[in-house]
Structure 1
């Protein structure tokens, strides 16, 4: 008979091989660096709770055929501390051999001692499972956005991602983009004109780890429901978030209004000629548009061809009219034992995704070779 139990040290090799093959779509064996990181992340997570642990599903012969990676995190809401569990890296090996293994694993996860069960990376299959188990799909938190900056370069980058030799055409895209982006050309959803953000962008400056932690805490506290990190927990997350080799170099900047007040903060990764990945945008209420303009101006100046990231309700509203495109690639979902706790999520007053999720981890965007 199949079984579900907490992750143990000896399970790591099997979990690493499943992740490499099922989620990363790689044929090569999982590198030792990945095994080490899985052990570090899921057996000793930053916000450790001894009774909230990652889970494995076992076949009848005792071998591992399923996994739910769990990251505990404490939230605060109306002065009360809530225990949460963020589920990710959800996978089942050869699910056709045991079609209900995934549902059993998800049910076991939701049945844990936490007040909130969360995810920000549910694909279509797991979203259907969450829905059947009464999870609440958070539409605006689940939207992926895309802003094209240089259309020819964007198309070349897409081609190079699908077929590596296509990267040879990328230099030829630059003069075409220069023509399309000539100063004074009318605004288009396909690209930005040269200097388009010059009058709208605010000053931005790089931040170190200590200031980054201060800014994340400060801006997160503007949400009715937000994480309650210790100094050590948040520091570890910010440090680990620096390493995402597949996404490119990290850009981590604060946004300063003309009076000298810091009104926003953003973190993205990207290299010249590439598509940048944003994992966090934060701002004071009412400054979302200015922070977005400043981030787009920064990415344009660095030669990126586009930016993509995950939505939050206030950000989605600010993006309207700024020629962002929206798609759905994965879902942010919440399951609460007390239905009253759903209110801040459905009202857009919960800080979720990015550092309040799993996007900060090296599993999304890093290499372990």
Structure 2
């Protein structure tokens, strides 16, 4: 949820008649895609001069993400002159709370065209969304403008989930990977020797940490996507407010997540005890020489530390120079036990619901959110369309 340009005061209540006189909101349609893609590239990729290839690739991906299957829940605002004034990406999901089914809206890119919008598109889009059939609304990618909008709309902020953690394996190589991601045309030989020399000097400081669990009875192994899709719902069963994936929805979601390209291929792993009982699982993007990016991690009971150990070991074995991921309250104590782990704000995680029991579950942290129940797994969060 990232409103890039909205000029209305976040705290001002705008009446329905005033909003309607400044345009209308309707579901995204196929004929909107090129305009939405061009606006997205300008706002989120900072391309004032978009190439046709980039627009076409972005539009094709948005078609798959928002228009395949059920009726689109994504919204567009059309100004009185008939032009696209704004867009809100919305993905439909199912949750359950103590076996009660809930319809959820996952809010993604939220943008307005500042060249034609005079502060009405953002409020209109939010008002239309909140009048829909959903029982809860959530996002894990809100920027600071979104936070200001959400405050008077009774969104609950989950501060821990707003942070991102980074564990550094090789600081010199990690700095090079960060620079190369920003400027992919830089020659490798220009930076690698300096990174290698620095990492040799810093090796002792960045040696692998002692593991939280040294038990020989815990086994780490790579798993495939089907095994991960079997494990995850079982391991998240102790959340009262959790996703309800049915009829192959989770494998389809993982297939879409695997299309993300910025951080390398998607890898899966898990840990088991000596009897074969599953204790945890994880999924992360990564490739040798790059920075691994966590998609999802889940563990049962007291096994978060061992699962985190396995994740970091898997990224090291792959040749990654570091790993980054969204924080969760359930493994924050284990993260604090690692050296060379740093935290920073990455995007607001917020939930809104009119259901009192949902609000209480969110308040107590008893909600499965982030990762696959967010929008950071989509290509819109990171990929450079037209170049990748």
Confirm or deny a common fold (TM above 0.5). yes
Q: 2:338 aligns with which of 319, 322, 329?
A: 322
The answer to whether the Cα contact below 8 Å between 2:34 and 2:56 also exists between their aligned partners in 1 is: no
Paired with 2:255 and 2:174, the residues of 1 have a C-alpha distance of 30
Q: What SS does structure 2 have at the residue aligned with 1:245? A: coil
Q: CA deviation at 1:109?
A: 1.4
2:355 aligned partner: 338
Say whether residues 1:210 and 2:226 are aligned partners: yes
Aligned length in residues? 357
Say whether residues 1:234 and 2:250 are aligned partners: yes
Q: Which runs of 5+ in 2 are unaligned?
A: 1-21
2:107 aligned partner: 87
Paired with 1:279 and 1:96, the residues of 2 have a C-alpha distance of 37
CA spacing shift, 1:111–1:318, aligned 2, 3 Å: farther
Q: CA deviation at 1:209?
A: 2.6
Paired with 1:206 and 1:235, the residues of 2 have a C-alpha distance of 17
The answer to whether the Cα contact below 8 Å between 1:253 and 1:267 also exists between their aligned partners in 2 is: yes
* TM-score between both structures, scaled by the size of structure 1: 0.89
The answer to whether the Cα contact below 8 Å between 1:157 and 1:170 also exists between their aligned partners in 2 is: no
Paired with 2:347 and 2:221, the residues of 1 have a C-alpha distance of 32
1:141 aligned partner: 161
Q: Which moved more, 1:201-210 or 1:87-96?
A: 201-210
Q: For 1:294-313, what aligned pairs fall within 5 Å after superposition?
A: 294-313=310-329
Paired with 1:367 and 1:232, the residues of 2 have a C-alpha distance of 29
Q: Which runs of 5+ in 1 are unaligned?
A: none
* TM-score between both structures, scaled by the size of structure 2: 0.85
Q: For 1:47-196, what aligned pairs fall within 5 Å after superposition?
A: 48=70, 50=71, 53-94=73-114, 97-164=117-184, 165=186, 167=188, 168-181=190-203, 185=204, 188=205, 191=206, 193-194=207-208, 196=210
Q: Which moved more, 1:10-19 or 1:152-161?
A: 152-161
CA spacing shift, 1:171–1:260, aligned 2, 3 Å: farther
Q: What SS does structure 1 have at the residue aligned with 2:89? A: strand
Paired with 2:198 and 2:275, the residues of 1 have a C-alpha distance of 39
CA spacing shift, 1:256–1:25, aligned 2, 3 Å: farther
Give CA-to-partner distance per residue, 1:88-139, whole Å, 9 cap, x none.
Answer: 1111111784123212212221221111011111111112111121211111
CA RMSD of aligned residues (A): 2.2
Q: 2:38 aligns with which of 6, 11, 17?
A: 17
1:41 aligned partner: 65
CA spacing shift, 1:230–1:294, aligned 2, 3 Å: same
1:358 aligned partner: 375
